[in-house]
Chain A
């Protein structure tokens, strides 16, 4: 795999992620509630999936052979909505309706709301099992599609995650890649304090997964790991993606308070100014002003 010009392609993905960060903040600012921390930590992974790795067609959202993406940590759905709109699944104007009465953009992912959402998630712990079922269905039909599932570190406190951790290797579900958005924060505090997850790599290795470890905010590392995962046979792959909660907005980074709090108008303006300045510095031109 890999496009002829790797550097150009990575730059393209980074540019998209930088724009989607801006759209996430705009969305949450308008919504007045939601989860910026985990949306910003996961957006680089989501971008790499939708705009490089996944075989999908926004014009045919029910194409049976499409790759599937399940956001088990459903509260980060602004990241997925931004990516779906960017890909053309629905008009970008609709992003401004997030969490409003009558909007197709529900506060957590809902299947059959907007095209591209594959399952209802957000009650934590359930998405990995659903992704596993899809990945088994793929294997039954000759492995025509791959299933990607992002879980949270706080979410990993749910017992059902470990039920799926046990069963996917049993069925050698190599059509499944799970990615841990390891941003270290959850509502009540740091994961290490609320309920420690370490040693997380040892745990997933012990459960017999193919385990990779990356910086989940570095596009090159994300891209390489997703390629390795897809090509690995005989076991499901688990990618431990170290990320920064609130990545890209200085006053949100690693701050627990920004797990589930939307920015007020001033904070929104401040965050957007920062993200736009970073965008301009990196890619030139302006975006979304």
Chain B
């Protein structure tokens, strides 16, 4: 199976669920070609709303649609949609509007466009809002399954997708379970909790560390909120080192969520947060950026290996 961008998987899945769920509608803010909501727009032009470059109004409109019984998927880049924090807070979260906020182009791996277009704080922003679920699927199958699931979920949700292609990590027939961590690899020395586009590099890193005699497990956290704290704590209790891997600031996202769960359960294991280290992003090819910020397989292996030695 060739690698696939989760935004593509999202767009295809949305167009598909539109057939079975007549209440599903979609909105975009002049990025339909990029978020891939255009696939839905072509198939269901009467249920698609191109709102122009006006994300705040798009979010509010989506809230109104949801409060009147529709299931809106409101799409833009991760950075722009979560950049409208007040609208997410009042129109969506506080109003308990059943909106699916879809932030594509999550992470530094979008590459050349640079920091202003890179969603590096989106998970943190979304996670901070009461009642807001946060999803960051790892491959095409997981994204498709998440979109299916979101047609029946009750409550506001933020869903992040990637611009870059990611390798498939889940088996055919994969069943998505909201709020459940997925153990992909076992290991007694360390465990890496990874999310989104970082799951596959984490698996590769664990594999290369095994060659060096280090047994490193990998757990996919596709649902950042609600976090599967029980699974996180249980896995952490069995190892000497816990690492998190995310294409996002190390503050507020997966690293923080895991740290909170471990501290509250008094696990007392060392935590290594791999991600963007509280700095701005920059331009560069996706590969160069992932290498620079040690978010590729080699960078993850290097950091986890060093921490274990």
Contacts and interface: CB of A to CB of B under 8 A. Distances in A.
Interface of A: 64, 68, 110-112, 118-123, 125-138, 140, 147, 159-160, 163-164, 166-167, 171
Given A163-B54, A167-B54, A136 B94 contact: no
A204 to B, nearest CB: 16
Given A122-B90, A140-B25, A167-B52, A129 B59 contact: yes
B87 A132 contact: no
The 9 tightest CB contacts between A and B, nearest first, are A133-B64, A129-B60, A163-B57, A137-B68, A163-B54, A133-B61, A134-B64, A120-B94, A130-B64
A119 B63 CA distance: 9
B61 to A, nearest CB: 4
Contacts of B52: 163, 166-167
Contacts of A171: 49
B303 interface: no
A119 B49 contact: no
Nearest to B61: A133
What is the predominant secondary structure among interface residues of chain B facing chain A?
A: helix
A167 B52 CA distance: 8
Contact of A167 (B57, B62, B66, B72): B57
B285 interface: no
A137 B62 contact: no
Contacts of B86: 123, 126
A130 B91 CA distance: 7
Interface string B74-106: 000000000000110111001111000000000
Contact of B56 (A68, A140, A163): A163
A166 B61 CA distance: 13
A131 B64 contact: yes
Given A110-B94, A126-B90, A166-B52, A160 B60 contact: yes
Contact of A130 (B25, B47, B69, B95): B95
A128 B66 CA distance: 15
Contacts of A132: 57, 60-61, 64
B129 interface: no
A122 to B, nearest CB: 7
A130 B67 contact: yes
A119 B57 contact: no
B90 A123 contact: yes
Contacts of B58: 129
Contacts of B46: 140
B91 A136 contact: no
Contacts, number: 109
B51 interface: yes
B65 A134 contact: yes
B85 to A, nearest CB: 10
14 contacts: A111-B95, A119-B67, A129-B59, A129-B61, A130-B64, A130-B91, A130-B95, A133-B64, A133-B72, A134-B64, A137-B68, A160-B56, A163-B52, A167-B54
A120 B95 contact: yes
B163 interface: no
A119 B91 CA distance: 7
B70 interface: yes
Interface in B27-73: 46-47, 49, 51-52, 54, 56-70, 72
A137 B94 contact: no
A167 B64 CA distance: 14
Given A123-B86, A171-B49, A137 B96 contact: no
Interface in B175-229: none
Contacts of B63: 119, 129-130, 133
Contacts of B95: 111, 119-120, 130
Given A111-B96, A123-B86, A136-B49, A118 B67 contact: yes
Contacts of A131: 64
Contact of B96 (A112, A123, A125, A166): A112
A129 B64 contact: yes
Contacts of A129: 56-61, 63-64, 87, 91
Given A112-B96, A120-B91, A121-B90, A136 B61 contact: yes
A164 B63 CA distance: 13
A217 B127 CA distance: 45
A104 to B, nearest CB: 15
Nearest to B64: A133
Contacts of B91: 119-120, 126, 129-130
Contacts of B61: 129-130, 132-133, 136, 164, 167
